[in-house]
Amino acid sequence: MLNGKQIVLGVTGGIAVYKAVELVRLLTKAGADVHVIMTRSATEFVGPLTFQTLTANPVHTEIFNLIAEREIGHIALADRADLFIIAPATANVIGKIAGGIADDMLTTTVMATRASVLIAPAMNVNMCTNPIYRENEEKLRRHGYRFVAPVKGMLACGWEGEGKLQDPAIIMEEAVCALTRQDLVGERVLVTAGPTLEEIDPVRFISNHSSGKMGYSIARAARRRGAEVVLVAGPTCLDDPWGIETVHVCSAAEMRDAVMERVAASTVIVKAAAVADYCPKSRAAGKIKKSADAMVLELEKNPDILAEVGRVKGDRVLVGFAAETSDLVENARKKLTGKNLDLVVANDIGQPGAGFNVDTNIAKLLHRDGRVEELPLMGKDEMATIILDRAAGLRKQGMRGEE
Ligand code: PMT
pLDDT of residue 71: 59
What does the DSSP 8-state code read for residue 384?
H
DSSP state of 32: -
Determine the Cα–Cα distance for residues 235 and 150; give it in Å rounded to an integer: 30
Q: Where are the domains of the chain?
A: 6-178, 188-402
Q: What is the DSSP string of 341-383?
A: -SEEEEEETTSTTSSTTSSEEEEEEEETTS-EEEEEEEEHHHH
> How many Å apart are CA 109 and CA 38, to the nearest integer?
12
Q: Are 23 and 52 in contact (CB under 8 A)?
A: no
Q: One fold for both 6-178 and 188-402? A: yes
> Tens digit of pLDDT for each residue in 268-303?
999 999 999 999 999 999 999 988 899 999 999 999
- The three-state secondary structure class of 113 is coil
The one catalytic residue among 157, 177, 237, 250: 157
Coil, helix or strand at residue 286: coil
Closest alpha carbon to 399 in 228, 225, 183: 183
- 34: nearest Cα among 45, 42, 23: 23
Which alpha helices (H) appear in 272-360, and where do they start and end? Answer: 305-312, 328-338
Q: Please state the separation of Cα 252 from the chain's center in Å.
A: 25
Q: Which positions make up the binding site?
A: 277, 287, 303-306, 321, 335, 339
Q: Which amino acid appears at position 191 of this protein?
A: V
37-47 core/surface letters (b: 16 or more CB in 10 A; e: else): bbbeebbebbe
Distance 76 CA to ligand 1 centre (A): 50
Ligand 1 cavity residues, CB under 6 Å: 192, 194, 210-214, 252, 271-275, 277, 302, 304-306, 320-323, 335, 347, 355-357
- Specify the fold of 188-402: Rossmann fold (3.40.50)
Q: Are 71 and 84 in contact (CB under 8 A)?
A: no
Write b or e for each residue in 66-76: b if 16 or more Cβ atoms lie within 10 A of its Cβ, otherwise e. eebbeeebbee
The alpha carbon of residue 363 and the mean position of all alpha carbons in its chain are separated, in whole angstroms, by: 22
Give 96-114 pLDDT, tens digit per residue. 999 999 999 999 999 999 9
- Domain spanning 6-178 has what CATH number? 3.40.50.1950
Backbone φ and ψ for 31, nearest 5 degrees, come out as 100, 5
- The DSSP call for residue 340 is T
Show pLDDT as tens, one digit a residue, over the chain (403 residues): 899 999 999 999 999 999 999 999 999 999 999 999 999 999 999 999 999 999 999 999 976 666 666 656 778 899 999 999 999 999 999 999 999 999 999 999 999 999 999 999 999 999 999 999 999 999 999 999 999 999 998 888 888 888 999 999 999 999 999 999 999 999 999 999 999 999 999 999 999 999 999 999 999 999 999 999 999 999 999 999 999 999 999 999 999 999 999 999 999 999 999 999 999 999 999 999 988 899 999 999 999 999 999 999 999 999 999 999 999 999 999 999 999 999 999 998 999 999 999 999 999 999 999 999 999 999 999 999 999 999 999 999 987 776 6
